[in-house]
Amino acid sequence: MIDLRELEALEARWKEPGDSPLLPDAYGFQAFRIPDFLRLLAVAVMAVAPMRSFLDAGCGIGTKVLIARDMFGLDAAGIDVVPSYVEEAGRLGLGGMVALVDVREFGGYGEQDIVYCYGPFREPDAQAAFEKRLHAAMRPGSILIAVMPTLKPRGWECLFRVPWQGVWRKPTERG
């Protein structure tokens, strides 16, 4: 049984005081609020059934991967660039589901039903370059949950939006 208060406490323990310990233009682990994440993921999952695969691009210690798997039954995975975060995800029982991969080098965005990202870049140009590539790589009909996006996905259907948070669906037809 998943204990959300325990996950919140774990996220608080891992919160980075500054930016990424590895990349100068990126954030370190700062967890998105779990209640807000549940709201966004519920919108995404309800949007098109059946939604199966979920990726957290810049997943930190993997708490959102765990929630997507254990509360929503998704085939969930995550990637992050900081080894200690990925090791902690392994201790959470996410070994094999969370991998040490740079979001700029990941080649599997087109295989996901739902891609979730919070940042991960602190520099607007780096974030915009990442988002542009992500938008192009995602498959038609798939859902993007974005926290702090720099670009609005142009021509995508907006399913939910509050400042700095959105859920969008990539159009299935061109034009």
Ligand X SMILES: C[S@@+](CC[C@H](N)C(=O)[O-])C[C@H]1O[C@@H](n2cnc3c(N)ncnc32)[C@H](O)[C@@H]1O
Shortest Cβ 11–ligand X spacing (Å): 7
Nearer to ligand X, 133 or 141 (CB): 133
DSSP 46-59: HHSSS--EEEEET-
- Interacting residues toward ligand X by CB under 6 A: 20, 23, 26-32, 56, 58-60, 64, 79-82, 85, 102-104, 118-120
Sign of CA dihedral 61, 14, 57, 81: negative
Task: State CA 90 to chain mean position distance.
Answer: 17
* Smallest distance, ligand X to C-beta of residue 83, A: 10
For residue 26, the minimal CB distance to ligand X (Å) is: 3
Residue whose CB is less far from ligand X, 38 or 48: 38
* Smaller CB separation from ligand X, 93 or 171: 93
> What CA–CA distance (Å, rounded) separates 7 from 111?
28
Kindly tell me which of 32 and 168 has the beta carbon lying closer to ligand X.
32
What's the N-to-C CA distance of the chain in angstroms? 45
